[in-house]
Amino acid sequence: LYLVTRDGDYLSNLDKKKPNTYLEDEWREKRHGEIKIFESIADLVSQLEKDEVEFKKLRRSELLDELKLSGSFAQTHSLIDELSPLIDDFNENDIRKFLFAYYSNSQVSMIGSDSDLKIAKGLIKKHPLYSKELRESIVREIIGEDED
């Protein structure tokens, strides 16, 4: 429950950023949830935006982990469909994970010429954090060469 209030009746006597203990206990007992207090709608919106960014980051990571372990061409296509719209938001670690999955999992690399994978690879290559050196380091990691 998100509660936007400055009314002291809803706030803890000890910590004005937390809900009243009675209210918090009742909500937890009856709804099995927690109450988050905000002083303004702007504070709530700011928190929701931060939560959305974190959710998207976690979702990208989960999808990339699944791509690395993809056991079929169909699963790979499904994952690429979900990942492609997110590529612009990739960080360097996401790019590394994508490249690792592409070069280490035959269920990904064997269909690299399919249109959806071609598009995804193109988006990765155009990404400002992508570099040929990064790609080469992933390939060396997969084949087990030292970087000396």
Structure confidence by residue, pLDDT tens digits, 17-65 = 888 888 899 989 999 889 999 999 999 999 999 999 999 999 999 999 9
pTM of the model: 0.77
pLDDT confidence of residue 80: 98
Give me the pLDDT at residue 146, please. Answer: 53
| Cα separation, 6 vs 37, whole angstroms | 9
Q: For residue 85, what are the CA distances in angstroms to 56, 61, 92? A: 11, 14, 16
**Count of CB atoms within 10 A of residue 141's CB?**
15
C-alpha to C-alpha distance for 80 and 35, rounded to whole angstroms: 37
Cα 123 from Cα 115, distance rounded (Å): 12
